[in-house]
Structure 1
């Protein structure tokens, strides 16, 4: 049967519509006594409403059903806390049958309507509010993947507010009718695109790190060949500044298999035999995530130009720009991926533990107390519920601290690996909190959706991802608030940094449990990093009118069609490309250079560690985050005793890599190449703006001339520090966080594109 959906023509369809909505079977439509004029007035209003639309559905050309879609934010549902951006309201009315009902017809109509709704990639969820007494349609909704949230009062009825995500619908019935196994994305066509994309990235990044050396194809300008084991690949590519390769995925011949490609190159890449399976598993997981995003997360950049902070965070698809195996997440099952991966956009409610105070350490930053922290994070009713849980077990709430944990961590690690601690009531599971959170690209850090002004929460998560088990060390984090206070005070007291608007998002509190056997009877290990969390300031309270935040990683995002968000932002802004880039560099690069020159202070300023603040689509200032684990003082600046941990001893030629590697090679080579590829800004002009930003800072700060000469950021070449080499050498722990400099791996030097032109 062929089902079609077309705009309602009221003049043509009025009589038919009246017969449908007044039929006894349509009692829940609440128009039983409507006259023809009543129906006309109702649907004239819908036709005139830009936020509400009506459609006629046909079965093999015969009128058969009515569909209404609407924006819930402009409906009777407006203001409900459950609503989110990307929601689309829906009503469907199946026409009374002329004769005997056709078995399964209503289900076919329902599937066609859901697919019509989700055909718009901006739609994340469908919202319905059937009469709570309508058991038949409620069951139909649940069968299609809807989750019933709660009853709500609406005019004329008590409704059951229900929502269905794109993934939940496809998992329930699937647009390709895969019956609920959640693998609609694992198709040959999508996996071929995933393989091509990942192999193109692998060729580019491995060549950038000089692990591979593609040869020019003399017969085809712009084409290259590469031998991998017994295989030879041909592809087209362009090479930009800093030996940045842009490989065309569609051009790779023959059709590549990413796992076979890596396995053939394993001896060349230096992957130890015993670790190759782990790396291949991370490659497989990265491929699976890429296919899922192609299937379920096709958001055009045109829709991100004005999107909110978390919509952009969930829409990004690449992960780390340099690491090839960057979506490993070993430990997650398919259901975990769809529940907790940032790209799925699903809300998460963190679980809470009561951790016995005698074996748990809570450290607090300036201005924080235990009570203000918990009062801000948990509603009074929630705290009362948690306290009642403890008292019900015969325990005194005063003896416990409250510790948030990832739901996966509780189910898969804490309730099993730490079962003795739970049994002796050193740890007590209190249940889920009341706030919805969303995982960030860093996957174990959560943004509070229910109360965006509240703190980020960073949790321990014992999955293997990108060269690390993503735990948090209670011992290491104990000094985190003090470190953040010192960095924040240093930044706030500096006139230059204040002029640029550069600030840090402080990690205000850290908590860790150490009463387990792994702390008492065993040496250092990942098991000591499984029960800890920290709280970090949200950027939202610091925004002025007309400003919006965006993670800097979004500047490197291209959508499924290859369109770049940074290009779209520049085109949407009121300034030209050079002015836009200059403003970006003043917000991002200049403060980092100043911190290095004035304080020998280095951050880890990659895309996910920095929030850009935009005004009229132009970056105007930057907020630095992830301070405690990724900041270093590389000189003799006096430090408080509790902050001394961040002082590091580094060779002089490594110190400058805080800008050369982490900024030039880690971020700007990608931005510059995107703008050049898109024809937005010539690459030489881009790097001339980088050079001018550094030179202008030096001209404005002659008192820092000796530091500028010492770091010599505009030297002709700098050491080529490589990231993939670290992960390939040891996929389980690529660096020692307590001595990162000794872990670095180099591949000669790179020509500095910001160096003065001879």
Structure 2
């Protein structure tokens, strides 16, 4: 696919996604215009599209069906999501510099998607690809249309550092005077051991030659973009005074994950992933979760941050976004046996250029049938997450990019892992003994903590599965949501001691709050209104 064709396809696809997600979130209010036909006036234009309604009030728009008609003009196929945003600027409350900022971000998103499409593998190939390389072909968390994670990247930066570029990255190392840095680690991992495991002897010798005595410093790897844009500017005085010493690029080569700031060591995959952001206290949370899991055996593989460095600016330390740091985490491939395959949950709804989905490919390859395959995955995923919620009052950040499905060579589900643990952990606002192990993780009331499952998994992932399974394998959506509901209610029946806490979470309530990540990005509102809950019971119209 040439560059022009890829841009057109990316722009059209994002326009349909934007129409669907903003309609789902209540920012757009389409009007019925016939069976599965909708009309949406925006400013001086009218959009029309075909869509069926899905779970959680979603709009499942038929790709290629959307048209736009200017006032008095004829409908034409939609080609550019930026035109949609300009038409919708009043409805969205976007004006002046904020409108320009969002349009710039959306343009960058089209460029990233266009780059991804030009090298898009088939669903079959992606389903067997190395986990870290596959990250470069994914589109991130399904509900979020805007690419908010790469703010500040230039076109050259995107070509060099975005996961879809397929380029390796060498981290830049710095030595930080010990009185300006904080090092944390789990109990059995000290600073010296971390250096021995993450750095070659020759590289440590080079660092020692530069600074004289490593014991006086804490070593910190950073993304080369951060080294130039953050350290080179905000820490220029500290570089001049020797508080920070630039040690140059490391030997190892890394590939960025979809989160951009988390990178996997592709040359030495047994070495840890590095997240080049400060996460003070993360190893404490990881260690606590592992201690609980060792006793409880909840069945979820935990991949957390095991060591971290945080540097606070001597003058700007209390201001936002001035700290720098890094977190070393257990790599996904450390939990994958020979012959097994690890796939991000963000890969499961991936469709290739011929329309084939990874989810469908795995089911067909397994020979299990859609119902049995889904039942097995739901059991591997939901029962442990329910156990953490109901037995320990712990919500894990189970968003698609953080979840990993491990399958056999024939696509049969084996295990589920969760990574980037510490950043998503929240605790029930009750005094539970196990919470003493989890540091300063935020406390939430039951209805808010339930969102770690209802928003991240049910609305954020499974609603997309339901539509793929209907379109590709003729699995009725009512049957799919029956399987989800059966897994959740079976957990309650099997764990009567947790029934009261389970009920407090309201997972089976008739309605739930509608999660709105794009509304949050545009207007700062993470939730808006309530929508019917497919876990409560089947919909009369068969949508769930």
Is the shorter-chain TM-score for this pair beyond 0.5, marking a shared fold?
A: yes
| 2:184 aligned residue | 363
The alpha-carbon deviation at position 397 of structure 1 amounts to 2.5
Q: Does 1:196 align with 2:19?
A: no
Q: How does 1:67-86 map to 2 (within 5 A)?
A: none
In the alignment, the residues of structure 1 paired with residue 435 and residue 223 of structure 2 have an alpha-carbon distance, to the nearest angstrom, of 33
Moved more, 531-540 or 321-330: 321-330
Note closer, same or farther for the CA distance 1:619–1:538 as it changes in structure 2 (3 Å cut): same
Note closer, same or farther for the CA distance 1:249–1:543 as it changes in structure 2 (3 Å cut): closer
| 2:289 aligned residue | 487
In the alignment, the residues of structure 2 paired with residue 683 and residue 260 of structure 1 have an alpha-carbon distance, to the nearest angstrom, of 34
Q: Does 1:667 align with 2:461?
A: yes
In the alignment, the residues of structure 2 paired with residue 749 and residue 407 of structure 1 have an alpha-carbon distance, to the nearest angstrom, of 44
| 2:21 aligned residue | 205
In the alignment, the residues of structure 2 paired with residue 597 and residue 639 of structure 1 have an alpha-carbon distance, to the nearest angstrom, of 13
Q: Does 1:617 align with 2:411?
A: yes
TM-score by length of 1: 0.67
Q: How does 1:423-462 map to 2 (within 5 A)?
A: 423-460=240-277
In the alignment, the residues of structure 1 paired with residue 335 and residue 133 of structure 2 have an alpha-carbon distance, to the nearest angstrom, of 19
In the alignment, the residues of structure 2 paired with residue 328 and residue 233 of structure 1 have an alpha-carbon distance, to the nearest angstrom, of 29
Q: Secondary structure at the match of 1:671?
A: helix
Q: How does 1:152-171 map to 2 (within 5 A)?
A: none
Q: Identify the match of residue 279 of structure 1 among 97, 102, 107.
A: 102
Q: Secondary structure at the match of 1:556?
A: coil
Q: Does 1:722 align with 2:531?
A: no
Note closer, same or farther for the CA distance 1:401–1:443 as it changes in structure 2 (3 Å cut): same
Note closer, same or farther for the CA distance 1:415–1:630 as it changes in structure 2 (3 Å cut): same
Note closer, same or farther for the CA distance 1:291–1:506 as it changes in structure 2 (3 Å cut): closer
In the alignment, the residues of structure 1 paired with residue 256 and residue 519 of structure 2 have an alpha-carbon distance, to the nearest angstrom, of 28
The alpha-carbon deviation at position 559 of structure 1 amounts to 1.7
| 1:579 aligned residue | 372
| Conserved 8 A contact 2:123-2:361 | yes
The alpha-carbon deviation at position 680 of structure 1 amounts to 4.4
The alpha-carbon deviation at position 440 of structure 1 amounts to 0.4
In the alignment, the residues of structure 2 paired with residue 324 and residue 700 of structure 1 have an alpha-carbon distance, to the nearest angstrom, of 39
Considering only aligned residues, what root-mean-square deviation do their CA atoms show, in Å? 2.0
Q: Deviations over 1:331-384 (max 9, x none)?
A: 222221121111122111111111111111111112101111010000101111
In the alignment, the residues of structure 2 paired with residue 481 and residue 587 of structure 1 have an alpha-carbon distance, to the nearest angstrom, of 25
| 2:347 aligned residue | 554
* Structure 1: 5+ residue stretches without partners: 1-118, 120-183, 461-471, 731-743
Q: Identify the match of residue 337 of structure 1 among 142, 154, 158.
A: 158
The alpha-carbon deviation at position 568 of structure 1 amounts to 0.8
* Structure 2: 5+ residue stretches without partners: 68-75, 540-544
| 2:308 aligned residue | 510
| Conserved 8 A contact 1:479-1:642 | no
The alpha-carbon deviation at position 292 of structure 1 amounts to 1.8
In the alignment, the residues of structure 2 paired with residue 712 and residue 243 of structure 1 have an alpha-carbon distance, to the nearest angstrom, of 18
Paired residues in the alignment total 528
Q: Identify the match of residue 91 of structure 2 among 256, 268, 272.
A: 268
Q: How does 1:79-228 map to 2 (within 5 A)?
A: 185=3, 187=4, 189-218=5-34, 221-228=35-42
In the alignment, the residues of structure 1 paired with residue 442 and residue 120 of structure 2 have an alpha-carbon distance, to the nearest angstrom, of 44
Q: Secondary structure at the match of 1:715?
A: coil
Q: Does 1:308 align with 2:144?
A: no
Q: Secondary structure at the match of 2:53?
A: strand
Q: Does 1:249 align with 2:63?
A: yes
| 1:542 aligned residue | 335
Q: Which has the larger radius of gyration?
A: 1
In the alignment, the residues of structure 1 paired with residue 9 and residue 280 of structure 2 have an alpha-carbon distance, to the nearest angstrom, of 45
Q: Secondary structure at the match of 1:250?
A: coil
| Conserved 8 A contact 2:395-2:450 | no
The one of the two structures with greater contact order (alpha-carbon pairs below 8 A, sep at least 6) is 2
